């Protein structure tokens, strides 16, 4: 896909910068951070906020059984900054209305913008509990969960889901209609089968099928790496906006870059790497901070021609001070970038 010229970039910004009503609330724009387990933590979101341009952010996936009694002072995932709550949606995975309703009420009481039901995660530990993408195997149960949560809360209700467990898009289309009837305010759709670990490209036409089937907003998600990818998704699928995941970890300034004339400076990668290290140190203990930083480096290193070598230096670091030494020594403005980050290069 060819890079966008100035006219097309302006067209992209114009489409993304339109406010959108979700339930009883309004979001400033249509470019959002996708929920990312292990990555979309409070420290990353703080750094992301510093760049601007992100209309709505989602937490990491939280467990429905834990949320009702979980302390944000202790929890590594159910944690936030007060300043971000008006633009923050809490994503929760659970299997039954009995699990999800108390979690939804807690999220509403804490002041989140909205509540997101995870029906997309296909990690075996989640699926074995009949949560995440497992709910797509039982559409009636999935709808019962949505109906129960809708009755329990008044804040916007989101659902993140996939095509399903077969390539056929029709079950997802039917579910989308049932989700709308059950009271969902917005759908975020990833057009891959649940078992697919990004070995095949997402099927963009499936986003259009879902978006055309309902009157509530549908956001597209999946392999949006460049501004051209983003504009193509908007123009070909009829989606209301775009949800960006792994690429947001690689280049968090993309939200500002795609929605405004912002141009990142030559020192953007080094500055980002240092800011994230500092934010992780503020929000987490040393062991958790280092673990989360190592996970981040998978996507950060995908920006560079010799990314594997760079990541190997990070993985040798034994603490956050050594992480900073790697940044100072190895991340320089002349580090050669790839034209298109390959976010599947590490096969995770």
pLDDT band at 334 (very low <50, low <70, confident <90, very high): confident
pLDDT band at 200 (very low <50, low <70, confident <90, very high): confident
What is the Cα–Cα distance from 322 to 151, expressed in whole angstroms?
50
pLDDT band at 92 (very low <50, low <70, confident <90, very high): very high
| Catalytic residue, candidates 121, 186, 230, 239 | 121
- Looking at residue 348, its pLDDT comes to 39
What is the Cα–Cα distance from 303 to 158, expressed in whole angstroms?
31
Tokens of 15: 């489409």
* Long-range contacts, stretch 180-183, CB < 8 angstroms, 24+ apart: 180/214, 180/215, 180/216, 182/143, 182/146, 182/147, 182/150, 183/146, 183/147, 183/150, 183/151, 183/157
pLDDT band at 339 (very low <50, low <70, confident <90, very high): confident
- Looking at residue 1, its pLDDT comes to 63
Residue 347: pLDDT over 60: no
> What percentage of the chain exceeds 70 in pLDDT?
97
Strands 31-33 and 25-27: unpaired
Residue 345: pLDDT over 60: no
Residues 34, 36, 41, CA angle at the centre, nearest 5°? 105
- Looking at residue 101, its pLDDT comes to 98
230 is catalytic: no
What is the Cα–Cα distance from 60 to 35, expressed in whole angstroms?
5
Per-residue pLDDT tens over the stretch 57-86: 999 999 999 999 999 999 999 999 999 999
- Looking at residue 89, its pLDDT comes to 98
pLDDT band at 170 (very low <50, low <70, confident <90, very high): very high
23: alpha, beta or left? (left if phi > 0; alpha if psi -120 to 50): left
**Cβ partners under 8 Å of residue 235, min gap 6:** none
Beta strands in the chain (DSSP E): 20-22, 25-27, 31-33, 57-63, 88-93, 114-119, 157-164, 186-193, 218-221, 241-244
Residue 280: pLDDT over 80: yes
Output Rg (C-alpha) for the chain, integer angstroms. 19
- Looking at residue 302, its pLDDT comes to 95
């Amino acid at each position: 896909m060819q890079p966008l010229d100035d006219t097309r970039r302006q067209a992209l910004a114009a489409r993304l910068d339109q406010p959108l009503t979700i339930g009883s609330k309004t979001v400033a724009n249509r470019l959002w951070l996708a929920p990312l387990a292990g990555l979309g933590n409070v420290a990353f979101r703080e750094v992301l906020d510093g760049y601007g341009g992100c209309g709505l952010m989602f937490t990491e996936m939280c467990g429905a059984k834990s949320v009702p009694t979980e302390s944000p002072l202790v929890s590594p995932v159910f944690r936030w900054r007060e300043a971000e709550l008006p633009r923050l949606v809490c994503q929760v995975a659970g299997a039954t209305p009995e699990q999800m309703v108390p979690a939804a009420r807690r999220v509403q009481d804490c002041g989140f913008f909205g509540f997101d039901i995870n029906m997309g995660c296909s990690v075996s530990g989640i699926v074995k509990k009949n949560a995440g993408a497992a709910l797509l195997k039982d559409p009636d149960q999935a709808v019962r969960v949505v109906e129960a949560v809708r009755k329990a809360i008044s804040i916007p209700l989101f659902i993140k889901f996939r095509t399903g467990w077969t390539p056929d898009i029709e079950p997802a289309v039917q579910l989308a209609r049932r989700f709308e009837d059950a009271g969902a305010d917005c759908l975020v759709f990833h057009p891959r089968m649940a078992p697919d670990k990004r070995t095949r490209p997402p099927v963009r036409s499936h986003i259009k099928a879902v978006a055309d089937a309902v009157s509530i907003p549908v956001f597209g998600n999946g392999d949006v790496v460049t501004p051209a990818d983003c504009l193509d998704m908007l123009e070909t699928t009829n989606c209301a906006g775009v949800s960006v995941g792994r690429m947001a970890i690689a280049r968090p300034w993309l939200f500002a870059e795609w929605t405004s004339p912002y141009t990142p400076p030559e020192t953007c990668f080094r500055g980002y790497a240092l800011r994230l290290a500092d934010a992780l140190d503020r929000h987490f203990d040393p062991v958790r901070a280092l673990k989360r930083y190592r996970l981040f480096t998978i996507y950060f290193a995908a920006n560079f021609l010799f990314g594997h070598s760079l990541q190997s230096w990070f993985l040798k670091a034994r603490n956050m001070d050594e992480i900073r030494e790697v940044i100072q020594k190895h991340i320089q403005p002349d580090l050669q970038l790839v034209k298109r980050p390959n976010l599947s290069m590490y096969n995770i």
